[in-house]
């Protein structure tokens, strides 16, 4: 993994950024300093240019001037789902333990994990259900699939907010000729069938 040292020159950082939009910054002891990006360097140059510093002079300055320090990080103990909110705001999620930089979680890794959670590459019958937010709602759902001897590929609850009275649930079961019977049993149990495909 490419890491930019805060004392390396901006020119050196730009060289590393030829194939990246942003990179983590850590010193020789792997203490995390933040991230540097093409955008942060551009913003740094605009500020330097106002002080009549040429681009070549700017490029000889230490990269520390262009490091974004207000970066959200996670530890190895944080749950995977914590990466999702951060990745919408940052190009990657730095993993830092006691100020030591351990690595990053890339957007592609998060996408792959979500693809597995949603079973996007497994042939399955997919049902989008409306489920009342009541105790035992998912247990009753699984009792129905169990009674029908259906293999659940994945079940993902959406709209998981404390204030939600209802939520949507994606239920995927192995392809089955029992799909119409499953739909009938779910409707009989009070589940709203929003979509089947």
pLDDT in tens, 71-87: 999 999 999 999 999 99
Are the beta carbons of 196 and 125 closer than 8 angstroms? Answer: yes
Alpha-carbon gap, residue 189 to 112, rounded angstroms: 34
Of 142, 185, 192, the C-alpha closest to 165 is 192
Helix residue ranges, H only, the chain? 10-16, 38-50, 55-59, 82-87, 107-117, 137-147, 179-188
108 and 138 both lie in a single domain: no
List all residues 6 or more positions away from 106 whose beta carbon is below 8 Å from its beta carbon: 92
Same domain, 31 and 125: no
Q: Which two tokens stand for residue 136?
A: 């035992």
> 24 lies in which domain range?
10-113
**Domain stops at, among 52, 78, 113:** 113
163 falls in which pLDDT band (50, 70, 90)? low
pTM: 0.78
Give the bridge partners for 68, in sequence order.
Answer: 35
Q: Are residues 66 and 125 in the same domain?
A: no
How confident is the model at residue 166, as a pLDDT?
A: 83
Let me know whether 142 and 175 are in one domain: yes
Q: What is the CATH number of the domain that holds 94?
A: 3.10.580.10
Provide the domain count of the chain: 2
Whose structure tokens read 């996007």? 120
109 & 52 share domain: yes
Average of per-residue pLDDT across 45-69:
96
Residues in the chain: 197
* CATH number, position 169: 3.30.70.260
Is residue 139 domain-shared with residue 84, that is, in the same domain?
no
- Asked whether residue 98 falls in the same domain as residue 18, the answer is yes
Over range 1-24, report the average pLDDT: 96
Nearest to 128 by CA among 161, 64, 163, 173: 173
Q: Which residue has the tokens 């070549």?
A: 56
Nearest-angstrom CA–CA distance, 113 and 119: 10
97-151, pLDDT tens digit by residue? 999 999 999 999 999 999 998 999 999 999 999 988 888 999 999 999 999 999 9
Q: How far apart are CA 164 and CA 184, in angstroms?
A: 25
Measured between alpha carbons, how far is 69 from 53 in angstroms, rounded to an integer?
A: 23
In a domain, 1, yes or no: no
Q: Does 138 lie in the same domain as 56?
A: no
């Amino acid at each position: 993994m490419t890491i930019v040292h805060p004392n390396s020159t901006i020119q050196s950082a730009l060289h590393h950024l030829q194939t990246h939009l942003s990179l983590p910054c850590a010193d020789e002891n792997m203490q995390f300093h933040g991230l540097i990006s093409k955008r942060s360097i551009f913003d740094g140059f605009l500020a330097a240019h106002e002080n009549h510093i040429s681009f070549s002079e700017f490029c000889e300055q230490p990269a520390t001037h262009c490091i974004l320090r207000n970066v959200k990080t996670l530890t190895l103990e944080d749950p995977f789902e914590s990466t999702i909110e951060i990745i919408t705001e940052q190009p990657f999620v730095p993993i830092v333990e006691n100020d030591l930089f351990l690595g990053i979680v890339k957007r592609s890794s998060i996408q792959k994990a979500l693809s597995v959670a949603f079973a996007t590459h497994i042939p399955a019958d997919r049902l989008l259900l409306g489920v009342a937010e009541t105790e035992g709602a998912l247990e009753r759902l699984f009792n129905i699939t169990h009674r029908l001897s259906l293999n659940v590929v994945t079940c993902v609850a959406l709209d998981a907010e404390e204030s939600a009275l209802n939520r949507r649930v994606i239920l995927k079961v192995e392809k089955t000729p029992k799909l119409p019977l499953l739909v009938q049993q779910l409707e009989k149990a009070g589940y709203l069938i929003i979509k089947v495909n």
